[in-house]
A and B are shown apart, each in its own frame.
Chain A
């Protein structure tokens, strides 16, 4: 199993991987006049990168720690009159 610290690190790394993948010179490798799985290679490449990023984000967010319950809604709206109990809940440092 990958530890939570690694997961956070991966979550921070993911956009960097994305940037590297969609910018030259890597993207130029796929930018050739050829077909890949029936599509122009560059189309296949771009959408594959996109899907990879989405999948990775999906898998990562399931492992990432949740934020503490939200406290900002304590003050009642015009509608719901739940009494506010002050802002003494503490945030945890997930960083």
Chain B
């Protein structure tokens, strides 16, 4: 015996507990502590809202009446979830990419953001779910009745009749759903508080059912085997040949469709999904949960039938068995378990439906006539959304109550639920087409849904009122206007089949045929094609989501005002700020197509894709996109365009790389050639003296009777040639050392003029030989440079001898002048020779470069002189440059295009005292 106040008190305490769970979760979410809230566990438990009081109470009833049939309700979802890779993964990915808010949003979004489709689905969903909500109300009411009936002190008069009770329950549920489902407009309709509460309820109902099951099997039945042994006696036939007939197949298909199409399942599985990888856990954990919920179903049914008095409602065995055995605490726990399975369904279902109603019915109407809804004054939209959602929740629950009222007296729980399943299963063809069939069109989906749901309403929904309505009962018997052919539960006169099987078969068949035929006859419009590609090929897109297809002539202020209206000031500001370039005002954003698209998606997260599209279409200067523009972006054309663009970019890049490579190659070749030339010259240079040395040495060895003078002469030649060889090798070694970065000397203050005189002196033999006159121009007096005397002489000698050796003028001369420029001394060596051709100015300082004009190889140097000089000067923080005509540094003796001569400038750092 449990008193009414205890039951009511416990229920209220439980609801308060739910409030606390939801509140704490919302608080954690607001503080950014997501870890637990977004765990795969919570996600799986939230999906377990599938197990409603139908599972908790109804499954036992179903098992008592129809044996194994109840299992089919779980087989469908199990198959869908273990096959998640195939379907659910795609659904969830699209849900994320497109910011899907509901199943109506999903379908309408896929079919060109069609408003009509969204409205139709919303209406079907509301009608289809109504029996389901009524089922929950009935379960709570009946369970309350059962538990109170044990108390002789409580009469019907004190608790009111069933209707009053159901109404009170519906009102309380509406209150809870409103409080937690519609407190704010979320980014993508995720309700963390509610989800946490639902997950909590999933645990409660599971534990409660398992507790009752354990008590029944081991407390009453004496173990599983003993329990099943009773099955035959109580009339549960597990082995009828019909067990796995058409009805089994139908219910399996229905439940597989329902796990996706039920608005609350779509809400928990797709919309509330935080991470696609959570599906991995859910793929096995959710079927496991269902398995756990079903283990005790048959045993409870068997024991209930054998222990309880005949005529007891099998739907209430879960509650009645503990009560009959005076297990009051367990009975109360079972009641709370059933209560929680009912409340979780009602809450999520009403929230999901309210989102659909407000986004797809209320908002579009409000947008058409903004004045009516006070939308002109800026803040109206948020309030409108909230109000319409609250009203929708209340309306949904009220509808459920009305259905409960109209069908009161109709029997078991499971058949009511199956009516809902058959209703929402009408979405399945459209969803499958949305995911896998590119050519499915909005009109096709519309036609399919209309046909299918009409047949469902006529053959499944309508007959459920037969118990309370004479006319409908009559209709079932005789058909409309007495035409038996059209009897709702025996269409085309086929009355040998189960009514459910018939209804599902005809409605889904007609639905699919209409979808296919109308789709084939028509064609998708541009947006439809774009969306089709985005949905069907969701795994083939490189980029997340869709491209812009709204032209960006929208005044930003308008966009901002509009966004603020929908999302509220705070969120609108942070959204716009996130787009603004850093450090700039949010009103400096360029309204690019990308931005508009992103904005549309964010808005779609609050009010649905179709509404967001219309809304933006209004603001974007009424400038709907032209056909060509959309086409360019839509479809494969877009992808091909992008691809070719990418290719072009890559090609350009490749081309420039190739050019660079070619240049480098040319340089390398030149260098290689120089090296070859140098090597051949070196070999030549080395071979000539070596040949001389060898032949003279041989003469000396073989001819003993040489005259001493001759011998003397030969030996001198050998010596001279050896000296030349050594000199050459030394130069190479010198350059190597310089290039390796070795500094073989110390820099000190040096008189440049003394070094110059010394160099001229050294060069006298060469200048005399070539009859070159060395003239001294203006020389800077009394200066010191930081240098090494010997090395600076070496540079000067090199320059003077070069000027002499390569000068083919009639009166060859070299003029040397110097001057102070800032912290540097500039020494110019100007000759009147042929000059350096433009082609050679690049390479003149390269190693191995040799003047090619002078064929007199005996006068050629090693090709290292200038390179060594430059290295030396580099080590002194100076430089050696070739001064071109345009940068005149001194006067050229001769003029003329080809006779400009060459001017080398040595720059040396001055020594400052």
Contacts and interface: CB of A to CB of B under 8 A. Distances in A.
| A pairs with B | yes
Interface of A: 8, 11-12, 14-16, 18-19, 22-24, 27-28, 31-33, 38-40, 42-43, 46-47, 50-51, 53-58, 60-62, 64, 66-67, 70-73, 75-81, 83-84, 86-91, 93-95
A79 to B, nearest CB: 4
A67 B71 contact: no
Contact of A67 (B81, B276, B298, B578): B276
Given A53-B287, A61-B283, A22 B252 contact: yes
B578 A57 contact: no
Interface in B229-255: 231, 238-239, 241, 243-245, 248-249, 252
B542 A91 contact: yes
B685 interface: no
23 contacts: A8-B85, A12-B83, A12-B85, A15-B80, A18-B79, A18-B82, A23-B252, A24-B244, A31-B243, A31-B244, A38-B225, A42-B239, A46-B71, A50-B75, A57-B284, A61-B283, A66-B280, A70-B276, A75-B187, A75-B602, A77-B187, A84-B579, A87-B598
Q: How large is the interface on B (under 10, 10 to 19, 20 to 34, 35 or more residues)?
A: 35 or more
B85 A11 contact: yes
Contacts of B29: 77, 79
B277 A54 contact: no
A39 B225 contact: yes
B32 A22 contact: no
A85 to B, nearest CB: 8
- Nearest 6 CB-CB pairings of A with B: A15-B83, A79-B30, A57-B82, A67-B276, A58-B284, A11-B85
Given A8-B85, A18-B79, A54 B291 contact: yes
B847 interface: no
Contacts of A64: 85, 280
Interface in B543-572: 543-545, 570-571
A28 B96 contact: no
Nearest to A82: B32
B745 interface: no
B85 A67 contact: no
Nearest to B578: A84
Contacts of A77: 29, 186-187
Contacts of A12: 83, 85-86
Interface of B: 29-32, 68, 71, 74-75, 78-86, 89, 93, 96-97, 99, 184, 186-188, 224-225, 228, 231, 238-239, 241, 243-245, 248-249, 252, 274-277, 280-281, 283-284, 287-288, 291, 295, 298, 538-545, 570-571, 574-575, 577-579, 598, 602
A50 B291 contact: yes
A81 B187 CA distance: 12
B270 to A, nearest CB: 11
Contacts of B288: 54
A49 B252 CA distance: 15
A27 to B, nearest CB: 5
B244 A79 contact: no
A23 to B, nearest CB: 6
Nearest to B86: A12
- Max count, chain B CB within 10 A of own CB: residue among A12, A33, A53: A53
Given A23-B244, A75-B602, A78-B570, A38 B82 contact: no
Contact of B86 (A11, A46, A71): A11
B280 A61 contact: yes
Given A47-B291, A61-B280, A67-B276, A39 B86 contact: no
A93 B540 contact: yes
A40 B539 contact: no
Given A31-B241, A43-B298, A94-B539, 12 more contacts: A11-B84, A23-B252, A50-B74, A54-B284, A55-B284, A75-B578, A75-B602, A77-B187, A79-B31, A84-B578, A84-B579, A87-B598
Nearest to B605: A75
A50 B241 contact: no
Contacts of B277: 66-67
Contacts of A33: 239
Contacts of B291: 47, 50-51, 54
Contacts of B71: 46
A19 B284 contact: no
Contacts of A39: 224-225, 228
Contact of B224 (A19, A38, A94): A38
Contacts of B186: 77-78
A89 B277 CA distance: 17
A51 B97 CA distance: 34
A51 to B, nearest CB: 7
Given A40-B239, A71-B544, A15 B244 contact: no
